[in-house]
Amino acid sequence: MIEISLFGQVCVRADGQVVDGLSGKQRQILAILALDAGSPVSKERLADLLWQGSPPVSYIGTLDSYVCVLRRSLGLKAGRSSQLATTEAGFILHTGEDVSVDLARFRALAKLAEEATSERVVDAVEDALAIVQGDLLRDVPYADWAVRARDSFRREVVELSLCGAQRANAIGQTGRAARLARVAIERDPVCEDAWRQLMLAHWFSGRRGAALAAYGELRAAMSDFLGDEPGRDSQELYLAILRDTSDAGAEATVDHGSELRTLLRLLRQALECTPGVRAPARDSALSEVAIRALAAAC
């Protein structure tokens, strides 16, 4: 059994033993093929990626030599029936019972999440995320193809985590929803959909103060990264939570001092974004300035 890990440092194991002795170029070839496991990669494209757009004149022979050594190191046979096959369309790495790629397993679970229903969606999402141990291709930090792969994978994780958070909120599993929303936010701090799922998870679980605090974090992230305010959907959800005065459920356990501090911080953020208004340094003066700003706006 050959196990190829792309998360963290690129690593290859054959029957549980780490395969040593591969050159940097050979490891990169294996990583490129593993990224597109199951699909052929032409020799021209492989050479372009491997040599950053400037392959040597003799790149075809060099690539064939590298792949030959790879097969030998991994104990694979040559030809079209090999798990590392040479075809008219290029080289192709086949996964299955004999070859496993952690990224391919992640994507198989992500596909399962798309097709599943109810709690099985959340289970599949969490199982997929559990595979992600470290950054994709961490030991290939500067190659353009690796940078693009990391950017693309980051979006995959955001979309998958968001899908799981939405489903978890829908079935009342707010703790799981909050955790999955945070995974998306860690990779995309201005993903408003993820922030809204986090706000909903806190709100649905009776943690109104935490939901309002999450909106404050969203505003800060939007300001820092985009110089902008949250969109209308986020603002409307914030106002709905703000207007909710119900005392049901876990709300009775809320630290009201913490909630008041959150509201003061949100008020300060709002004043700082109001043209012609300067937020005072002292919290005790915020209400007076806010009243004047409201009067001027009416």
How far, in Å, CA of 121 to CA of 110, rounded? Answer: 9
pTM of structure: 0.82
Give the tens place of pLDDT for each residue, 16-39.
899 988 888 999 999 999 999 999
Reported confidence tier of residue 266, pLDDT bands at 50, 70, 90: low
| pLDDT recorded at residue 251 | 46
Q: What is the CA radius of gyration of the chain?
A: 26
Handedness of CA 247, 249, 253, 254 (dihedral sign): negative
Kindly report the CATH class assigned to 2-101: mainly alpha
Q: Where are the domains of the chain?
A: 2-101, 206-298
Q: For 162-215, what is each residue's pLDDT tens digit?
A: 999 999 999 999 999 999 999 999 999 999 999 999 999 999 999 998 999 999
The structure tokens 């109104």 sit at 208
Sign of CA dihedral 109, 110, 115, 118: positive
Q: What is the dihedral of CA 197, 201, 202, 203, to 10 degrees?
A: 90
Confidence of residue 277 (pLDDT cuts 50, 70, 90): low
Q: What is the pLDDT of residue 3?
A: 95
Res 220 pLDDT > 70? yes
pLDDT of 294 > 80? The answer is no
